[in-house]
Amino acid sequence: MQPEWCSSLFKPGRNCWRMAHADRVAFLIDADAYFHALREAIIRAERSVFIVGWDIDSRLRLLREGEDDGFPGPLAQFLDTVVRRRKELRIYILTWDFAMIYAAEREWLPIYRLDWETHRRIYFYMDGAHPPGASHHQKLAVIDDRLAFVGGLDLTKRRWDTPEHAPDEAARIDPDDAHYSPFHDVQMMVSGEAAAALGELARQRWWRATGYAPRVGAPLPAHPPWPPWVAADVEDIAVAIARTEPQYENQPAIQEVKQLYLDAIAIAEKTIYLENQYLTAHAVGEALAARLREPGGPEVVVVSTLHTTGWLSRITMDVLRARLLRRLRQADRYGRFRAYYPYIPGLDDEDALKLHSKVMVIDERIARVGSANLNNRSMGLDTECDLALDACGDAAQSAAVARFRNRLLAEHLGVAGEAFAQRLARHGSLIGAIESLMNDGRSLRELSDKQPEEAETAPVLDTALLDPEWPISADVVVAHLLPADEARPLRQRMAALALTLAALAGLAVAWRWTPLGDWLNPAYVIASIGRIGEVLGPVAAVGGFALASIAAVPLTFLVLVAIVAFGPLAGFAYSLAGATLGAAASYGLGHAMGRDVVRRLAGRRINRLSRRLASRGILAVTVLRLLPIAPFAIVNMIAGASHIRLRDFLVGTALGLTPGILALTVFVDRIVAALRDPGPGTVLILALAVVLIGSGAWWLRRWLRRPGDE
């Protein structure tokens, strides 16, 4: 029930998901404050930690050089150590299954360090449950449903910095020991019911991405995870949780983030302060322009980054921002609009401070911090989560909101928070206070609406494709990017790719179930492959085995060739190594293709199998290797795109293949011996092997078919 002292601005179902009480709220400005608080909270965790973000880097150090709390520095090792010390603790990490355009900016194979190399109670998953072109952009961490963090900061490289943003800060280096530009962002920390609600949101997201619910025990009655050195900015207040979620499968579109922006702008009386990486959202721009046209409307102050990162972004997002800035200045009939960027002496334009925060403060009443950019994507296409609070006329809470805004502006102007507050009281105008403190040193400077130079010498791409508010179909992308006479060849190439995949599956079927298999008769091939072992070395043999298994050549045939060519001992070793290597490569291919694509190719039977395998772990993968359920390469791809952990998959593959290859080695070796020197003993061994393998497969198939968790 909404407390009586809460504002009617927040309306669950309209501009927020729900309202929840927060015992304490703290505004953590810049990553140094956030990383310290989060690390301490994770150390204090008892049952669960959820980390949900756009990106993560296992090498990130939450502490800088010289700081030591008794735990390892790199994030993956830190989380692993915490889990090992807390026997009931589980950590769930969910990040965006990113587009390849960001590959150069991200850690390669994060699953290796965050899933394979860490404790089994650390669960890592890359979220692909979103429509084409969308991204998972929420950035939140929840500890024991008691403490939660929401804002613009991911646990990834090139985020750490202090409010000083010193140009020569020695600690501002990435995991590759490269120095990077100053970086500014904000996170909100909440405790109480608000944290529990965010825990529910994290679990919902995990279930939708993975298909299974996380196992989380009830919190133990022990010390709260709130870091003792962090002072609360606000206490005993309702917090609104606003989301953006695109329409996807059976999930309807949610645009609470957008509606909360529009509703908050509409009620502003004196000031609207916006601090954001982008400024391209059409609906927000129209709402601001409407307020600027009013004779007695509020002042509007926007602080953004000088320019976005990368050539492509500058000829798209920066161009869109320049256009919106021009529209706002045209609407500013009464001189109440200003747009600035933070300036730090000693840095050229390329190294200027990267402002990444997503903040809105309305009057001295509403404070909002979250993941949502002021672009169209965050209004409807990407998943977002923002927190907002309303002082509701309470003097202490209003003062806290004012202090938060003043701290931000004071940081950008290079002055103390109290100095800015005094100047604001003297001028009675936010713009007046800012401009009275602007100087040639660290300060705010006017943000130009001039089109970026890059856009003058390069064709500006259709920005509607890079900043859409709704999912875009492939046909629309083709129509926008290519002339009509070139669109058909692209579709033909896409069709050719689909046919190639179909041909690969057909080849696997042909090897197994058509007369092509007759060519693989052992008696026929022994003579022609007997000298292979003399030509190929171990490395070539293992590599060739792996490549052939990826190409859907039947595993049985490959083992047969290896045994005949290299003998039983070497053939067994090469077969096991080559099959495991090929399985890993096919697994990676399936993971790269994505769960939805592979599962559509595989059909319902394999889809059900993947869930059952995920629930039964290594033993189930071991069983899979002994049953002729589907071609080897296709099953590997299914595993890579489904719920099976890589560690379980590889261990289960090795365990499952070993007895099968061993049995086949004996079997084939005796066949070769029988062909060369038939005798009763060889026939008896072959018959015994057939009985044992058949009996084991029958029993294992019965076990796999037993009812299990789906």
Contact in structure between 175 and 60 (CB atoms under 8 Å): yes
**The predicted structure's pLDDT at residue 506:** 59
Contact in structure between 622 and 655 (CB atoms under 8 Å): yes
Asked, for residue 178, whether it belongs to a domain, the answer is yes
CA atoms within a 13 Å half-sphere pointing along the CA-CB vector of 78: 26
Helix locations, 50-192, DSSP H:
75-85, 110-111
Q: Based on the domain organization, do 99 and 179 belong to the same domain?
A: yes
**DSSP E strand stretches across 175-314:** 183-184, 186-191, 234-245, 254-255, 271-276, 299-303
CA-to-CA separations, 376 to 11, 244, 285, 358, in angstroms, rounded: 22, 11, 10, 14
Helix locations, 514-603, DSSP H:
522-529, 532-535, 538-550, 555-566, 568-593, 595-602
**First-residue to last-residue Cα distance in the chain:** 36
Most confident of 2-16, 194-208, 511-525, 685-699: 194-208
Q: What is the pLDDT of residues 279-314, one digit of tens each?
A: 999 999 999 999 999 999 999 999 999 988 766 677
Q: Based on the domain organization, do 95 and 144 belong to the same domain?
A: yes
Amino acid at 274: L
CA distance 210 to 125: 7
Q: What is the pLDDT of residues 614-670, one digit of tens each?
A: 444 555 555 555 544 455 666 666 666 655 667 777 777 777 778 777 777 776 776
Amino acid at 604: R
**The predicted structure's pLDDT at residue 623:** 52
Asked, for residue 14, whether it belongs to a domain, the answer is no
CA distance 80 to 115: 10
CA distance 412 to 284: 24
Q: Which CATH number covers residue 132?
A: 3.30.870.10
Q: Based on the domain organization, do 317 and 430 belong to the same domain?
A: yes
Q: Does residue 507 carry a pLDDT above 70?
A: no
Q: What is the pLDDT of residues 418-427, one digit of tens each?
A: 999 999 999 9
Domain count, the chain: 3
Asked, for residue 176, whether it belongs to a domain, the answer is yes
Asked, for residue 614, whether it belongs to a domain, the answer is yes
Q: Does residue 68 carry a pLDDT above 70?
A: yes
CA distance 251 to 349: 43
Q: Based on the domain organization, do 284 and 180 belong to the same domain?
A: no
Amino acid at 366: I
Contact in structure between 563 and 573 (CB atoms under 8 Å): no
Asked, for residue 249, whether it belongs to a domain, the answer is no
Asked, for residue 58, whether it belongs to a domain, the answer is yes
Question: Which of 388, 415, 450 is the endpoint of a domain?
Answer: 450
Asked, for residue 239, whether it belongs to a domain, the answer is no
Secondary structure (3-state) at 299: strand
CA of residue 126 relative to chain centroid, distance: 6
Q: Based on the domain organization, do 328 and 436 belong to the same domain?
A: yes
- Which candidate, 238, 215, 324, places its Cα nearest to that of 12? 238
- Which candidate, 341, 348, 301, 356, places its Cα nearest to that of 152? 356
CA distance 278 to 373: 6
Contact in structure between 243 and 384 (CB atoms under 8 Å): yes
- Where in the sequence is the domain holding 334, given as residue range(s)? 255-450
CA distance 542 to 537: 9
Q: Based on the domain organization, do 290 and 226 belong to the same domain?
A: no
Q: What is the pLDDT of residues 513-558, one digit of tens each?
A: 555 555 544 444 444 444 455 555 677 767 776 777 666 666 677 7
Q: Based on the domain organization, do 339 and 210 belong to the same domain?
A: no
CA distance 116 to 132: 28
- Where is pLDDT greater, at 695 or 154? 154
**The predicted structure's pLDDT at residue 654:** 79
Q: Based on the domain organization, do 260 and 146 belong to the same domain?
A: no
- Where is pLDDT greater, at 292 or 125? 292
Asked, for residue 488, whether it belongs to a domain, the answer is no
Q: Based on the domain organization, do 274 and 195 belong to the same domain?
A: no
Which two structure tokens, joined as six digits, stand for 316?
Answer: 């798209």
Length of the chain in residues, anyone? 710
Question: Which of 404, 422, 450 is the endpoint of a domain?
Answer: 450
Beta carbons within 8 Å of 626's beta carbon, 6+ residues apart: 656, 659, 660, 696, 697, 700
**The predicted structure's pLDDT at residue 686:** 59
Contact in structure between 187 and 28 (CB atoms under 8 Å): yes
Mean pLDDT value across the chain? 80
Q: Based on the domain organization, do 225 and 284 belong to the same domain?
A: no
- Tokens 């090795």 belong to which residue? 654
Q: Based on the domain organization, do 208 and 305 belong to the same domain?
A: no
Q: Based on the domain organization, do 384 and 297 belong to the same domain?
A: yes
Question: Which of 171, 200, 232 is the endpoint of a domain?
Answer: 232
CA distance 379 to 279: 12
